[in-house]
Each structure stands twice: as C-alpha cells, then as structure tokens.
Amino acid sequence: QVQLQQWGAGLLKPSETLSLTCAVSGGSFSGYFWGWIRQPPGKGLEWIAEINHSGGTKYKPSLRSRVTISLDTTKNQFSLRVRSVTAADTAVYYCVRGPKYSSPDHWGQGTLVTVSS
Amino acid sequence: DIQMTQSPSAMSASVGDRVTITCRASQDINDYLAWYQQKPGKVPKRLIYAASSLQSGVPSRFSGRGFGTEFTLTISGLQPEDLGTYYCLQHNSYPWTFGQGTKVEIK
C-alpha cells in the first residue's frame, strides 16, 4: 500500500523559502507522476506542480518563476521549494501521486504553512 | 487555463436523497475528469476517475457521468457520512484546475 509522508517548516516570514519533502513508501516511482496541491484556509484546491519518474516537470504558470519541484529516487522522496513567499502562499500543502495519464489517487497528510511577519 | 464551474456551490439534502453535482469545463476535456470528497479537516479522497470509473473501495452509491464539457457526480441515497465538500478536477491540459467545490450538508 502506497503511503506519502510529508514534512517541512510550518511558519515562515515573508521573502523566505518554503521547503517541503514527501517520502514515498510501498510503491515504485516508475509509471507515476508526483505532485503538489495546496489549499488556502477555508478555500478550494489549487494544483501547483508535478514531476514524472524521468524528471519531467510541469508548473502552474503563475507560480513558475518561484517554484521548483524535484525528485530523489535514491531516497524515495520528492520535494517542493517556493521562493520569496508572501501571505498569499499561506495554505495546507499536499503531496500527491497519480498514475500516468490519470489523476492523483494518493495524498500526503498535508502540511499547514503559514507566512507571517 | 481551463475553467471548471461547479454547481451548486452548496446544498442541503436529507438522508436517502439523490444528490447531483455538476461540473462544466470551459473547453473539451474528453474524460480527463476526477471527483474528490473532502470531509471537514481531512485529506481529499478520490471517488471517481476518468469521469465515470469508481475508485476501489468507494461505495457504489457514488457514480459519475459525462464527456467533453459537462460532467455529473451523483450520490444515490445520501448518507450522513457523505457530508463534506466535493471537487472536480480536470487533468486534460496544464495547468490542471479544480472546480470551486460543492459543500454538501445533511438536513
């Protein structure tokens, strides 16, 4: 059974860098995509980025200049970095996995990241 | 970006009722649509993928239909544990986009 366990700093100041990591257990990297979705408090879901097992990436255009997604298959982990955060980046961040050409079927437990001075 | 418009945004129904949620895409997305349920304070859970395929372990009272630009999620016989917010997701083209959500309450 695939499990996604995520972690990272929960409180940041404006202009700092958000860094989250998601560890994958119980599954292969091949044939799947790995991504991040966020949800501001009380609001809906927003897709951020994804990476496939070959390292190919896709980003939300409005976030592309500040976001990097990366994959470390040797550690069975993938990560998200968001530079120069503002209060608008305050959200619960979820790591996700999905089969190629399909939609996310496994989600991490979520990490609340708050940006406040 | 493809816009996903869900309706209604909120609803209240009685146990046993048939509930239908609609999601409309601003352009053709074939069947690259999924439905998620998010209970209060919990992680979203996939109910339907490829517009009409039921996720393993999900009760059969949930069903999805549609192709192209119009899709529906139906709950045939609402149960108390079905309260929560339901989201559609299009993954036909990047950036992937979600509907704004439909909050389902139990009368």
User: What is the token pair recorded at B16?
Assistant: 């046993």
Query: Taking a C-beta distance cutoff of 8 angstroms, is the pair A3, A77 a contact?
Result: no
Q: Give the β-pairing of B10-13 and B102-106.
A: parallel
Cα B27 from Cα B92, distance rounded (Å): 10
Burial of B63 (0-12, 13-18, 19+ CB in 10 A): middle
In order along its 117 residues, chain A shows pLDDT tens digits of: 899 999 999 999 999 999 999 999 988 888 899 999 999 999 999 999 999 989 999 999 999 999 999 999 899 999 999 999 999 999 999 999 999 999 999 999 999 999 999
Query: Taking a C-beta distance cutoff of 8 angstroms, is the pair A111, A4 a contact?
Result: no
User: What is the token pair recorded at B50?
Assistant: 């490829």
A41 touches B at CB < 8 Å: no
All residues at 6 or more sequence positions from A66 whose CB lies less than 8 Å from its CB, including other chains: A82, A83, A84
B52 touches A at CB < 8 Å: no
H or E segment and range at residue A7: strand A3-8
Contact B97 A107 (CB under 8 A): no
Compare CB distances from A107 to B32, B34, B43 and report the shortest one's residue.
B43
B101 touches A at CB < 8 Å: yes
